[in-house]
């Protein structure tokens, strides 16, 4: 039997409006209508409903997302045992290395940031909670894929492809599987400007019962990661934190 999924267009439109406000906020009716290609009256009806239900805040003629989304997001994070056990260690990694640190899982075939933090007073923002990235192009994503069955990796590639994000992005299956083998051998994964030009990332998988449940990383400009002594220090720090988190799963 064919997989006939029925879609509720009004719900799709509401979600599209919410995402548009998230990108533009604050945003007015006319601006939102231009971006979602529907009439201003239709947008206004959605906005009024969302505001009455507490999902939007109206400020004059403009709208922004309310903290209700923050509440929902926080409850989702707390649902993950990995977040509860690893958050403190991600914070410590950022503090000790002076670099942005991230905790990533695989969700729906994408690398999804479960938690991200910066060292104190750092203006750098490379990833935020909830952000999704193509899993083949990031150090965190490749660290996870390296400890997943080949058939599972193939399924993810079939679904999402291997899109080219920069000149350094791996775009062939043969090269990706070779890279994943290297990651398994050395225990660490690198993003060598494969997602964003100028950005370098070092990641280690968090493996429990021979299955990568997530990965942890530090990210920063290539210039700060270029020297061998500094790169070595960061690799050691990331790998150590990943091991600590794994042990917590084993003994808790």
Euclidean distance between CA atoms 234 and 189, whole angstroms: 12
Listed in order, the ranges of the chain carrying CATH 1.10.10.10 are 9-67
Q: Report pTM.
A: 0.82
Fold for the domain defined by 9-67: Arc Repressor Mutant, subunit A (1.10.10)
Q: Quick one: average pLDDT of 163-174? A: 97
Stretch among 17-26, 85-94, 213-222, 232-241 having the lowest mean pLDDT: 17-26
> What is the predicted pLDDT for the residue at 125?
67
Max mean pLDDT range (13-22, 120-129, 148-157): 148-157
For residue 204, list its beta bridge partners.
Answer: 216
Listed in order, the ranges of the chain carrying CATH 3.30.450.40 are 77-251
Does pLDDT of 2 surpass 60? no
Fold for the domain defined by 77-251: Beta-Lactamase (3.30.450)
Does pLDDT of 226 surpass 80? no
Collapsing DSSP to helix, strand or coil, 125 comes out as coil
Q: Is-contact 203 189, C-beta < 8 A?
A: yes
pLDDT tens, position by position, 15-74: 999 999 998 989 999 999 999 888 999 999 999 999 999 999 999 999 999 988 888 888
Instruction: For residue 34, give the H/E element and its range.
Output: helix 29-36
For residue 208, list its beta bridge partners.
Answer: 211
For residue 221, list its beta bridge partners.
Answer: 199
Q: How far is CA 228 from CA 14, 188, 202, 234, in A?
A: 50, 15, 13, 10
């Amino acid at each position: 039997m064919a997989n006939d999924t029925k879609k509720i267009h009004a719900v799709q439109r509401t979600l599209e409006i919410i995402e548009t406000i998230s990108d533009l906020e604050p945003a007015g009716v006319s601006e939102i209508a231009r971006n979602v290609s529907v009439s201003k009256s239709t947008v206004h009806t959605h906005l009024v409903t969302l505001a009455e239900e507490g999902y939007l805040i109206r400020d004059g003629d403009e709208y922004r997302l309310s903290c209700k989304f923050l509440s929902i997001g926080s409850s989702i994070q707390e649902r993950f045992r990995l977040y509860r056990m690893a958050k403190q260690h991600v914070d410590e990694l950022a503090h000790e290395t002076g670099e942005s640190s991230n905790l990533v899982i695989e969700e729906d075939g994408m690398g999804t940031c479960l938690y991200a933090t910066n060292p104190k007073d750092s203006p750098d923002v490379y990833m935020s909670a909830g952000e999704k990235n193509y899993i083949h192009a990031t150090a965190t994503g490749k660290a996870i894929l390296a400890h997943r069955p080949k058939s599972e990796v193939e399924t993810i590639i079939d679904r999402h492809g291997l899109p080219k994000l920069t000149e350094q992005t791996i775009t062939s299956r043969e090269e990706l599987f070779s890279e994943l083998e290297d990651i398994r051998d050395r225990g660490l994964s690198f993003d060598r400007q494969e997602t964003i030009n100028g950005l370098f990332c070092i990641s280690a998988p968090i493996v429990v019962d021979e299955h990568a449940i997530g990965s942890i990383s530090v990210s920063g400009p290539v210039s700060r990661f270029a020297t061998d002594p500094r790169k070595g220090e960061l690799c050691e720090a990331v790998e150590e934190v990943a091991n600590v988190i794994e042990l917590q799963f084993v003994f808790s």
